[in-house]
Amino acid sequence: MIRQFELVERVKAYDPNVDEDALNRAYVFSMKAHGSQKRASGDPYFSHPLEVAGILADMRLDTSSIITALLHDVVEDTLCSLEDIEKLVGPEIARLVDGVTKLAKIEIQSASPQAENFRKLVLAMSDDIRVLLVKLADRLHNMRTLHFIKSEEKRLAIARETMDIYAPLAERMGMQEIRAELDDLAFSVINPDARDSILARLSFLRGEGGDLVRNITSELTATFKKEKLKVEISGREKKPHSIWRKMQTKAVEFEQLSDIMAFRVVVDSVEDCYRALGIIHGHNSVVPGCFKDYISTPKPNGYSSLHTTVIGPKKHRIELQIRTRDMDEVAELGVAAHWCYKQNVNPHEGRQYRWLRELLDIHEHASGPEEFLEHTKLEMFRDQVFCFTPHGDLIALPQGATPIDFAYAVHTEIGNTCNGAKVNGRVVPLRARLSNGDQVDIIRAKHHTASPAWEDVVVTGKARACIRRFIRTRQREEFIDLGRNILRKTFSKEDVAFTEKALGEILNKFDCQSIDDIYAAVGSGLLSGHEIIRGLFPDFLGHDDDEGKVVSLSKVRGKRSRKEFAVPIKGLIPGVAVHFAGCCHPIPGDRIVGITNTGKGVTIHTIDCESLEKFADEPEKWLDVAWDSVSVGEETHVGRLNIVLLNEAGSLGMLSTVIGKNRSNITNLSIINRSTDFFEMVIDLEVKDVKHLADIIAALRANPKINSVERARG
């Protein structure tokens, strides 16, 4: 366990202005607060915050971050409060401790603790990025001691969360060593057999070839010395998880991998980077397609380096990373190397933090934590392509991104009004895939709106979240307008005054928060117009007819009630309850069959109804029935249609007009799918018989705005 003076000396080694007094106070306070608490390993609990502080000291973070590490579990696990911490070390560190504490409090009732945890993590990052740095160090030490947790299920859950969330975040922060260690520690829990197998093969290779890393390093050093270039070379084997991931992505066996060693060449200047590259390429065969220049075009997290793969000494295929000392520091420490806080620089400005702002945009547009996690995983796991705006601004996007992704990356409103795109001066489809170096000019149209079909095209989380939000908003507006029209027509037919004030009095009956919610429910088919009337006038609509249809007010107010109408079916025992199947909606003129249901009467199906297959082995339930032409008069029945309608202005109005002119009424309408060009919907109509329904279908098919119309059979 790190002693008090040792921690102070480690921080003083890189920060001569360290507040020793505050650091000492925090050390003693945390040790006393945790007291006799023990970890799963049996060690004193205080050893954990002390190790986290040590990890941050190795990263050379500021004093406030080190003190936050010492105190990060005090509020959650002891009787101390944030007020106590503020009195001890001031408001800044109290705020940082509060941010870390909130991340640990995963809501137990959350449907997805992992997604909810990640949402809170990003929100905390938006306030002060040091909260994330402390949390990553905390997770790193917990992973190093994960084997002490007895529950295998809990170990697996923590390991998966680490690999899915914390390791990718460390990578995006530019903290490559921490990312690699987190990945490998999680890999050892998730797939220990695979890791052990890779370690065994690496050990065998070392035995076969001796110390390859040292031998290759020596030969490379000699080459540079001959060319009189001062360099520092270090080599290493790739970690088991890195090798495993490459085996999976390339779909190859271990024996087929030839680049399991990586070497780092550190030089004094950028000019020396390119000179070193020339020397390497001049003395070795280059592997085509394996050169990347992250100096001229750095990664979004600030990473800069030259990457190349060559057939090096001993005929081994090796990867080399060529960089300056400053670049090397950024590569190892990521944002911690920028000293943002000591230089009073806003850590949210600059290209390396653009991804953080994008994650916050996703959170704003996502409907819930599950969707947020889905989109952010898309953001973190893909390779990057770099494109430019017409003004020369650099936009980093995932591999496979489209002009739509580019538009939303620039601004949400630009994405929502995107109508076309020019790439390198040529008009291209919005589905086109962008490449490195493309200059993209988005063509906008004032009245153009995002298309639902775009969701299947885009690859960035921000674009997908914005499209879903836009479509949800527009769809709700259309449902509201449609529901309002349906209610007005239904109320008019039943000779009932239509007022929004009356609707406001029955909101609780339908679990609605506003009148617009009622309109949207009716427009989307969740409620019918007659159900709303029955909510207002229960005395008039307190019963349904034998077919399960709501009785209209006009009939209740007429000369005779529904009970006076005879059931239009022959072959039934008098007094038996009759139901018309909702799967096939039989109407007079259909060939029908009755199915008996114990205690529930008889259900009438059409003879070709697919639901009858489940009664094939129960012939005793089948009844031979037919329509009674004497009883079938002016009564209406439900006919259901599947319709594909052009998505353009006036289409819905035309549809209702055609149906009205054919002496029918829409009792329910539900849109089941929509695209840029078409609506797919299910409509229930009041019809007298099969001929009446056939006349309506013929009239609809004759209209050019209707793509197809079929009678629904399920």
Pick from 450, 462, 464, 458: nearest CA to 361: 462
Give me the catalytic one of 20, 77, 177, 628: 77
Distance (Å, whole) CA 345 – CA 331: 20
- Cα–Cα distance, 33 to 693 (Å, whole number): 79
In Å, how far are 109, 467, 645 from 450, measured between CA atoms? 35, 6, 19
Q: Which residue stretches of 494-567 are H helix?
A: 500-504, 515-523, 529-536, 553-557
Catalytic annotation, pick one of 15, 20, 76, 516: 76
Q: Which two tokens stand for residue 201?
A: 């093969």
DSSP state of 338: G
Instruction: Establish whether 76 is a catalytic residue.
Output: yes
> Which residues, at least 6 apart from 2, have a Cβ–Cβ distance to it below 8 Å?
10, 50, 51, 53, 54
How far is Cα 38 from Cα 21, in angstroms, rounded to an integer? 27
Q: How far is CA 702 from CA 161, 542, 661, 695, in A?
A: 57, 40, 14, 11
Q: What is the maximum alpha-carbon separation in the chain? A: 112
Q: Contact at 8 Å (CB) between 681 and 712?
A: no
Residue 213 host element (H or E): helix 212-226
CA angle in degrees (0–180, nearest 5) for 710-712-714: 155
Residue pair 362/465 in contact by the 8 Å Cβ criterion:
yes
Judge whether 547 counts as a catalytic residue.
no
Query: Do residues 45 and 38 make contact, with C-beta atoms less than 8 angstroms apart?
Result: yes
What is residue 514's DSSP assignment?
Answer: S
Residues involved in catalysis? 76-77
